A and B are shown apart, each in its own frame.
Chain A
Amino acid sequence: MSKNKSSAGIDGSEKRFSRILTASGAFIVVLLIAVFVTLFMSAIPAIKKFGLSFFISTSWNATAESFGALPFLVGTLLTSLLAIVIAIPFSIAISIFLGEYFKEGAISNFLRSAVEVLAGIPSVIYGLWGVFLLVPLVRSLELKLGVIPHGVGILTSSLILAIMVIPFSASLGREVISLVPGDLKEAAYSLGATRFEVMTNIVIPYARSGIIAGILLAFGRAIGETMAVTMLIGNSSFLPTSIFSPANTMASVIANQFSEATGIVASSLIYIALVLFLVTTIVNIVGNYVIRKIGIEASKEVT
């Protein structure tokens, strides 16, 4: 009496096919590892030369061959944080609007389509629009405030980033809010609460982690955003002193300077790219982990 192996029911061609599929999956893993290794290896000259003081040094001087990334770290943090702060009220508003007040119907479809189209507009076009329409506005604002009217700078970039980031976190927030169980809300209404009170006391606290995850993912997006920022930030390698200063983010300094960079400059820029890669990876993993924990499929709508 022999016990046949379970794999006998599956034919030989499956084994081959399975191997091809597995190889394809493994390839993705290999790809990612290769990306990391490549960045790391190419950044080694800069890592060797500057070490971790790269991040606290503010000079970016080709002739002195001294490079520090602090201005760009600050630039990235400032623009991204400011963008998120500006975007949060709007994106939460959209989430509530679509997830609670107008779940269906013409108005809902209209706004939902508008958000989708906004998400699909290429970054460079946001930049173009920003250059010709946002910069003059900011410039006149700066003149009124008595600040040097660069027009470009942290504020302008943050504004465009905010607009770009709103659809992203709004779509996630909407899903979370619409998933709040109806019976929870009904219990609150039956106690005589107004819609506002149900929203602020029941819905938003319940959806809190999803909303935070959305903000986190939007932050990750903002950090890595390149083109619009490059066109609006002014390409200055000095530490920004105010929100009206021209500056550079990690992404924009690479965009602005890499194509002509060689040797230690190139290596320093790749060092920056490595850091950018690691930061966005961590932010994305954390964000996605939170989303999976609350069990919704996040990137279905806006990718």
Chain B
Amino acid sequence: MERHIGVRLVKDMAFKGLICLLAFASALPLFLILYYITKNGIAVIDWSFLLNLPRPIGETGGGIASAIVGTMMLIILSGVISIPFGIATGIYLSENKEGKLSNTVRLCVIVLQGTPSIVIGIIAYIWVVAPLKTFSAISGGIALSIMMLPVIIKTTEETLKLIPYHLKEASLALGVPYYKTILKVILPAGLSGITTGILLSVARITGETAPLLFTAFGNQFMNLNILKPIDSLPYRIFYYAMSPYPEWHTFAWGASFILVIFTLAFNLIARGISAKWKIQF
């Protein structure tokens, strides 16, 4: 009888040990990746890297300025499109908890969220690149905005659902029209949650490459024209990484370092806002 218990206790400890081992092992790749990015990336980074344009094959030096600017432009473009639609749809869903249309919309949001980014890239190609007969920043912006929409819609809906009904009532009882109540009372109360959602979705698309492969396409030159191809950090990393030139490989690490910093920064700011601006009811 005692031996039996002993065996069980050993099993218990072994299981716990195994779980801990596997769990920490999963975190290992993270450190490996961050370590190599930092190690290889930092060596490349200097002001020349950040401020110069890429140089053609054969020439040494150059930088990723076009990519950094391009990424920012794409973020702005896709934000301009997706933020209004996303918030409006989020408000719609939180105000219409049931009903055929709202349930259908929710289903569509789930489907859109799970759609592979390469498929969205193809859609943007067919809708924008083919008719305009050129790769362009706007097509990349549209592709990215389709990817941002589900996250913004979801977080807006979730945030607004948490706002107590009596706040709306107080405003309506003062004779404030419904739309003003939503815009001036409810939305401000949910601002932190909505902003967090926006920042998280920006963090997500900053690193997306697949939708840009046949839309924004990449550009060695600085470009602010939305109807022309535009560079971006992820695209540049891809391009450099797949090239046969060792110097370009180091550039890929450097660009990765910058990209990871951007992504982490957006994530941290989002979490920070979520904690600090939280409103108590």
Contact = CB atoms under 8 A, between A and B. Distances in A.
A21 B178 CA distance: 12
A221 B127 CA distance: 25
B151 A194 contact: no
A121 B179 contact: no
Contacts of B25: 90
B80 interface: no
B115 A124 contact: no
B280 interface: no
Interface in B1-23: 8-9, 11-12, 15-16, 18-23
A190 interface: no
Contacts of B151: 303
A224 interface: yes
A226 B238 contact: no
Nearest to B107: A285
B44 interface: no
A127 B238 contact: yes
Given A11-B178, A120-B203, A28 B105 contact: yes
B69 interface: no
Interface in B226-259: 234, 237-238, 241-242, 249, 252-253, 256, 259
Interface residues of A, number: 87
A127 B104 CA distance: 36
Nearest to B120: A35
B62 interface: no
B19 A224 contact: no
Contact of A27 (B85, B208, B259): B85
Contacts of B123: 35, 38-39
A224 B211 CA distance: 12
A91 B29 CA distance: 14
Given A22-B92, A35-B115, A251-B116, A93 B108 contact: no
A265 interface: no
B122 A270 contact: yes
B95 interface: yes
A163 B109 CA distance: 26
Interface in B146-204: 146, 149-151, 153-154, 158, 177-180, 182, 200-201, 203-204
Contacts of A128: 237, 241, 252-253, 256
A122 B258 CA distance: 12
Contact of B16 (A17, A101, A166): A101
22 contacts: A14-B179, A21-B89, A22-B101, A24-B89, A25-B105, A26-B101, A32-B112, A39-B122, A111-B27, A120-B207, A122-B263, A124-B207, A128-B253, A196-B12, A197-B8, A220-B114, A226-B209, A231-B238, A258-B214, A270-B126, A284-B111, A297-B158
A270 B24 CA distance: 41
Contact of B213 (A20, A129, A259): A259
